[in-house]
Structure 1
């Protein structure tokens, strides 16, 4: 188990991503994945109010609804649910009033009394940051949210948020959710990790497996021809440099009887301030690798080998 920053949340060191629920995994498939994850020891779920509004026929909130129905059906004990605000088509932005309405809508879809971890999904510079910070703080004071977090924020804005929270006497963020993995390191390591260390925050990285590239599924520079929803995101990493990372992951994984995906997640967990990488599964068969990645401990030499082979990979947006 690992603690989420200065909070009272102790979680399994991998978060199951809910972005696929209502998208590439329908309700039944999502239930099966959630069942397998919890049966394997998982207890940390990540979603957002906007998932999966980009799917034709969807309007946003589908992932939260599926998770809420699963929670009501299974009534698991001690499952920690994180969700996010700012991108739902009906609740865009981070004005104080919007944050409140969006949180109430998420609570209704999830069917819970309080959101354990509530993220500002993307920074909204059209709203004074003090207004947003105060709104999040009020949600904590009112018991609708357990803890505050931020996603896709720059180090400067995180520092500013913490300063405002302290001045207002409201809850500080306890976690940061950045895009971070073996093929996307530079910005996080140079700017986000130092500010997390400064304020006792932890990282809960998304795109931990680089849209599937770090599973080893794409083993040639010819991956651009793939047509699945996630393949297009992974194809850009299938360069000579990216494939050298896959080869190193495979070699190290073989030493542990572990997959490329599990080894990649283990590297991420070994990085400073990282608490629980986020990874999604659209089928039950994909869950064991995620669970293994939360338990695999690499040696210092293995971590350093992966650091070296990925050091000069350009960061991709």
Structure 2
């Protein structure tokens, strides 16, 4: 079977900032710059950005949809989005999935979604029911491929087994929380599963909520910031030691620490593309550099050891 991700640029653009910290005009500029740099895979979710006061979810998809309409470039990019967390479409009941995909298609202004993820599992729901619901979307041509995120390895394996036994569309992509500071449980439980089943891996929190930009070098740097809630999990000596190694390697290449963090991720087994977002075009430069930077074996070994 041919690799469905063989033409994917080794950086996926995250859409979580679109319509939130990036207004429509800025978001379109980021998307334009990403594509101009060779990028072709955009990742979003129907729930982005429902966590913001006054937002209802789907803001990111709407911004991407307006960009696709203005540029007329739908066939030159692949779009990934997700179901189960939108306030109106919570969970993985078949009827909910069917309604949510139609809402996403309308916001995106397209007749198909290239990669559709189960964003979070609904563990009490039979996996056979979920597998059949996603297969129905593929059969209808609304979705081209299926992915999983935040689903336990046993449930993913059961989904794939069910799909194979019943001739259903099986997941081909995995989106895990994985970065230089968070290597587990991905490496011990999810990476072997991805390798066994040939799942393409697209990592989220690739820059550890901004920690791997090198901006935060101590716990005091984080206190009082708008990212304190996300960053507090990384305020330990081991994390800051890994960041020291990261900044040293970055200095040797005259690039930003974020570029090195993405280059390290990009070369992990099974990873098709790390997902990273940019609030503006200036932030995108370091991300694109990470898609092209080649680390030496000694540098990779140093980062491995520092983050183990």
Q: TM-score range by the shorter chain?
A: over 0.9
Q: 2:265 touches 2:274 (CA, 8 Å); kept in 1?
A: yes
Q: Give RMSD over aligned pairs.
A: 1.5
Query: Given the alignment, which residue of 112, 122, 126 partners 1:114?
Result: 112
1:193-244 Cα offsets, whole Å, 9 max, x none, are 000000011210100000000000101221332322x343124313222121
Query: How is 1:153-168 mapped onto 2 (pairs within 5 angstroms)?
Result: 153-168=151-166
Q: 1:180 touches 1:188 (CA, 8 Å); kept in 2?
A: yes
Q: 1:91 touches 1:98 (CA, 8 Å); kept in 2?
A: yes
Q: What does residue 64 of structure 1 align with?
A: 61
Query: Given the alignment, which residue of 275, 278, 298 partners 2:275?
Result: 278
Distance 1:24 1:267 in 2: 27
Deviation at 1:6, TM superposition (A): 4.2
Q: 1:209 touches 1:265 (CA, 8 Å); kept in 2?
A: yes
Q: 1:134 touches 1:168 (CA, 8 Å); kept in 2?
A: no
Distance 1:214 1:47 in 2: 21
Q: Structure 1: which 4+ aligned runs deviate by more than 3 Å?
A: none
Query: Given the alignment, which residue of 3, 27, 31 partners 1:30?
Result: 27
Distance 1:138 1:187 in 2: 31
Segments of 5+ residues of structure 1 without an aligned counterpart are 312-317
Deviation at 1:256, TM superposition (A): 2.1
Q: 2:5 touches 2:200 (CA, 8 Å); kept in 1?
A: no
- Label 1:144 to 1:15 Cα distance change in 2 as closer, same or farther (>3 A): same
Deviation at 1:7, TM superposition (A): 2.6
Other structure's SS at 1:144 match = coil
Distance 1:145 1:6 in 2: 18
Q: What does residue 314 of structure 1 align with?
A: none
Q: What does residue 239 of structure 1 align with?
A: 236
Q: What does residue 132 of structure 2 align with?
A: 134
1:110-157 Cα offsets, whole Å, 9 max, x none, are 011110000000001232111110111111111110100000111111
Matched, 1:176 2:167: no
TM-score (ref. length: structure 2):
0.96
TM-score (ref. length: structure 1):
0.93
Q: 1:150 touches 1:177 (CA, 8 Å); kept in 2?
A: yes
- Label 1:23 to 1:231 Cα distance change in 2 as closer, same or farther (>3 A): farther
Aligned residue pairs: how many?
307
